[in-house]
Every structure is written in C-alpha cells, then in structure tokens.
Amino acid sequence: MSQYQLGSGDRIQISVFGQDDLSMEVRLPDVGTINYPFLGEIKLVGLTAAQVEQLIYDGLLGDYLVNPSVSVAIVEYRPFFIDGEVKRPGGYAYQPGLSVNKAAALAGGYTERAARDKITIIREKDGRTNEFTVTVSDMIQPGDIITINQRFF
C-alpha cells in the first residue's frame, strides 16, 4: 500500500534517526494537520508515507540537520464501517488485505436476508466522496463505509 493516502484517524510513527525530540507517534486529527517541531503545522491528510518523509526531510535539511534520516510508518489504519445485513454492524479496525467477505466475517457474518450481489461502498478520495457497487471478493480500504443491502424474496 505504498500509494496509500493518509486520512484522519490513521496513527503514524515519525522517526528521525538520532533525534528523539523529532520522533513522535500521532493519530491524524479531523483537520488533517499536526504540529511538528521546527516546521509548525503541516498538512498530512492526502499524502503518502513517502511524501510525508520527504516533506519532513526537506523541512529539517540545512537549518536543523545536515542529513536527516526520516522514516514514516503507519502504525494503525483508520477503521472501516460496515452496515446493513450483517449481524454486528459498526466500525472495525482495518487490516491490509481485507475483502468485503472478510469484513462481513469480522461483523459476525451476513444475515439470512443479505443480498451478496448488492453491496455498495462509500469511499473518500482526494476530498471527494464516491459511491460504487462491489462484489464480495473486492478489496476494501481504510475509512470505507460498506453497506450490505437486503435482498427481496
């Protein structure tokens, strides 16, 4: 998930080798910015981990450090939400490699009225909200809102 864009709710670890005062673990707030030493407020939502590394590297280079060694890791992804025809609708911790089927399993499985061919996902990307139909084998992403619709007999 190297192209994964950070979003509010993600927990990241910023490490600067040999600089404990510049290393931190933080959950991204709704506003999408954090206050970072020397650099002030920086916007991280919508950036990849590699882009955050570069942003912090560029900000620290020269005035503060000669050659900073910066790494950014995602410690915990923001949750996904599943509702509709599952036994325990709600928010669940995202794990890489989750399909719609696996997400439903985390939510206690499908109900007997679940229409497995009528599943929608609402996903926010680049500040826009998109809604689309998926299959049970499609992969989900952090922050997705999955709706398992009811089938009619």
Return the DSSP state at 114: E
CA dist., res. 25 & res. 72, Å (int): 10
pLDDT at residue number 43: 95
Strands 24-27 and 40-43: unpaired
Please report the domains of the chain, with CATH numbers, ordered by start residue.
Answer: 5-76 (3.30.1950.10), 79-148 (3.10.560.10)
Q: Any idea what the Cα angle at residue 136 is, between residues 93 and 90, rounded to 5°?
A: 35
Do residues 5 and 49 make contact, with C-beta atoms less than 8 angstroms apart? no
Q: Residue range 50-79: average pLDDT?
A: 93
Q: Where are the alpha helices (DSSP H) in 17-94?
A: 49-60
Q: Which two tokens stand for residue 45?
A: 């939502």
Confidence of residue 85 (pLDDT cuts 50, 70, 90): very high
Strands across the sheet with 24-27, in order? 24-27, 11-16, 70-76
Give the pLDDT band of residue 1 (cuts 50, 70, 90): low
- As a whole number of angstroms, the distance between CA 23 and CA 68 comes to 12
pLDDT surpasses 90 at 48: yes
| DSSP-derived 3-state class of residue 103 | helix
φ/ψ bin of 126: left (φ > 0), alpha (ψ from -120 to 50), beta (otherwise): left
Out of 20-29, 85-94, 118-127, which region has the weakest mean confidence (pLDDT)?
118-127
In tens, the pLDDT along 123-139 reads 987 778 999 999 999 99
pLDDT computed for residue 35 by the predictor: 95
Q: Looking at 14-28, 61-75, 99-113, which range is the least confident one?
A: 61-75
141: helix, coil or strand? coil
Mean pLDDT, residues 19-46 taken together: 94
Contacts of 126 (CB under 8 A, 6+ apart): 5, 46
Q: What is the mean pLDDT of residues 22-37?
A: 94
